[in-house]
Structure 1
Amino acid sequence: MPTRGGQLTVVPPSSEPEDELSRMLDRALFGGAPSPELRPVRVASAVDEVSDRLLTAIAVGDFLPGERLPVERELTRLLGVSRPTVREAVGRLQVLGVVEIRRGRSGGTFVRESWTESSAAAVRRTLLPRWEQLEQLFDLRGLVEGMVAATAARRRRPADLDPMRQALAAHLSARTPREEQAADSAFHRSICEATHNPQIVMLSRDLLTRISLGFPVEPWGKGERSHHHRAGLGHTALYEAIAAGEPERAEEIARDHFTISADMIRDVLARVQGVEPS
């Protein structure tokens, strides 16, 4: 990504988000080829790409310190590679000290550090070639999640508000980034379910997966309290709009709220570029 005067320069959003939205809707409703952003990693450098993608996912907070990575079988499915490829890639992260492998019934691969010297190069290799598409996806996600919130405000039933309230309370009282992330996921899942349309749920999950490099997990940065506070305010306002049955207000709040994840990813890229985010 180029810089100018020490400031991060980002690619402007696509000028035709409706076209992309239409393609996304067609794929969600009727199926079709997978998105090019999510095609299986290139065989010639599969281990390198899987290692870089995992390092980047950890750097942007898809997986937080102390959290267990998806099991080997799930990683092969998400990334479209073989088990030996995943095993070797995870082994590289272990050598770097980013993860530790624990044996036994409660074992697995656990994140140790959110950032190492090796992460910067991996983040650049992973994000920079995809950056124009990511900016378009950030824009598209705001449009889609605005539609999701508006639909939930129109269709929600009294019973749909209970899980929203519970997830909102859990998020506001969370004490750790992992608790925040779990409550955030539950809150947005409850909004999707309030639309009473499984295809909308699928579309929202697909966009999240594409933005998060193949993992259906919300990026959570480094757990900065400013992001948590901003998310809490957004959740509260969004719940109130949906509960009041105000679709226009819910849509506006949701579109602004979903810029938080994009800002977190921009912050990480700015850091590895040696540029302070504006």
Structure 2
Amino acid sequence: MPDFGPIRPKRVFEEICERIRNELSSGTLRPGDKLPPERELAEQFGVSRTAVREAFRSLEISGLIRLQKGAKGGAFILDGNPTVRQSLQDMVSVGHVSLNDMTEARVLIQEAIVRLACKRATEADFAALEADIDRTEELTRQGRLRERLDYSINFHKVLALTTKNQVMIITIDALTYILRILINQLGPHPRLDLVESRRKFLKHLRARDADAAVEEMTDHLTKLHQHLVREQHRADRRRVRAPPRLQARAFGKAHTSARA
């Protein structure tokens, strides 16, 4: 039989965290909202400012809030689902998730998203996707590949929004967040026909041709995967050839970048 220990009463800061999480669950607090200042919250809860400060630190570590310093600073509710992102990022960082795992999951999830988008996307959704492609084309023409990455990855978030399914949106947000970290480490994908591929994909989406849209998206994800694998192998070879001291430094940089 399990050996259950005694139940411990919650500490004050844990109770504060639970209250704030409840407000998030109920929808009273939303992403982007700013929490009241420490002093005000301490008065509302009838606790010390130290307890509120400890609660803020705990919520920041959990990825629910962002603490910002300065005149316009404070505690802000983060967008998306940072906890899912952080958990996946930690698994990638310690090697529990490979590039193959990432791509396989993305292909399967993106197929489900594309099929839902073909059924549910509105003209406003199509316009948002087209605006993203237009900006990607402009940055491609200017050779600004690092900035193009923001719009290239944002395209997947905009596409997920067309499903009107919150689980899909949260899942793709976490996957694209990790993808951004990997691409920043290994280098942006210099695919010059990206815009052409995106316009072809959007054409299939507008026609509600799910099979053709899925095929175009899968082709893109496969080519991106091949690029990342090549760059990962090159990075590994450079680390092997480097002197031990530089290897340690490179590992530290990569580890820091992955946790950023």
In 1, Cα distance between the equivalents of 2:59 and 2:222?
A: 28
Aligned to 2:235: 272
Match of 2:167 in 1: 199
Q: Rg larger in 1 or in 2?
A: 2
Output the CA distance in 2 between the equivalents of 1:138 and 1:224: 15
One-letter code of the match for 1:133?
A: S
Q: Can you give the 5+ residue segments of structure 1 that lack an aligned partner in the other structure?
A: 1-72, 84-103, 106-125
- Summarize the Cα distance change of 1:224–1:193 in structure 2 as closer, same or farther, 3 Å threshold: closer
5 Å-filtered alignment, 1:102-121, equals: none
Change in CA separation of 1:131 and 1:272 when aligned onto 2, cut-off 3 Å: farther
State how far apart, in whole Å, the 2-side matches of 1:262 and 1:170 are.
23
Q: Distance in 2 between matches of 1:201 and 1:140?
A: 14
- Alignment root-mean-square deviation, CA: 3.6
- Counterpart residue number, 2:183: 219
Contact 2:189 2:227 in 1 (8 A): no
The DSSP-based 3-state class of the residue aligned with 2:183 is coil
Q: Tell me, yes or no, if structure 1 residue 189 matches structure 2 residue 153.
A: no
User: TM-score, length-normalised on structure 2?
Assistant: 0.50
Q: Which amino acid aligns with 2:111?
A: G
Give the 3-state SS of the residue equivalent to 1:219 in structure 2. helix
Percent of counterpart pairs with the same letter? Answer: 15
Which stretch shows the higher mean deviation, 255-264 or 163-172? 255-264
Deviation at 1:129, TM superposition (A): 6.4
Higher normalized contact order (CA 8 Å, seq sep 6+, divided by chain length): 1
- State the secondary structure of the residue aligned to 1:238: helix
Q: Does 1:171 align with 2:136?
A: yes
> Relative to structure 1, is the Cα distance of residues 262 and 224 closer, same or farther in structure 2, using a 3 angstrom cutoff?
closer
Counting only pairs closer than 5 Å after superposition, residues 48-67 of structure 1 correspond to structure 2 as none
8 Å contact 2:92–2:98 — kept in the other structure? no
How far apart are residue 217 of structure 1 and its match? 5.4
- What aligned pairs does 1:16-35 form with structure 2 within 5 A after superposition? none
Amino acid in the other structure paired with 1:233? E
User: Structure 1's 184 and 197: CA in aligned 2 closer, same or farther, altered over 3 A?
Assistant: same
Are 1:155 and 1:194, in contact at CA under 8 Å, matched by a contact in 2? yes
Using a 3 Å threshold, how does the CA distance of structure 1 residues 217 and 160 change in structure 2: closer, same or farther? farther
Quick one: distance in 2 between partners of 1:132 and 1:262? 14
Q: What is the aligned partner in structure 1 of residue 122 from structure 2?
A: 157
Using a 3 Å threshold, how does the CA distance of structure 1 residues 204 and 128 change in structure 2: closer, same or farther? Answer: closer
Could you say if the C-alpha distance between residues 159 and 251 of structure 1 is closer, same or farther in structure 2, counting changes exceeding 3 Å? same
TM-score normalised by length of structure 1: 0.47
Choose from 140, 152, 160 the match for 2:105.
Answer: 140
Picking from 180, 183, 207, the partner of 2:148 is 180
Corresponding position of 2:252: none
The match for 1:256 among 208, 219, 222 is 219
Q: Segments of 4+ in structure 1 off by > 6 A?
A: 126-129
Q: Flag the 1:131–1:253 CA change in 2: closer, same or farther, 3 A.
A: farther
How far did residue 128 of structure 1 move? 9.6
Q: Is the 8 A contact 1:168 1:236 kept in 2?
A: yes
- CA–CA distance in 1 between the matches of 2:127 and 2:99? 34
Q: Match for 2:203 among 240, 252, 266? A: 240
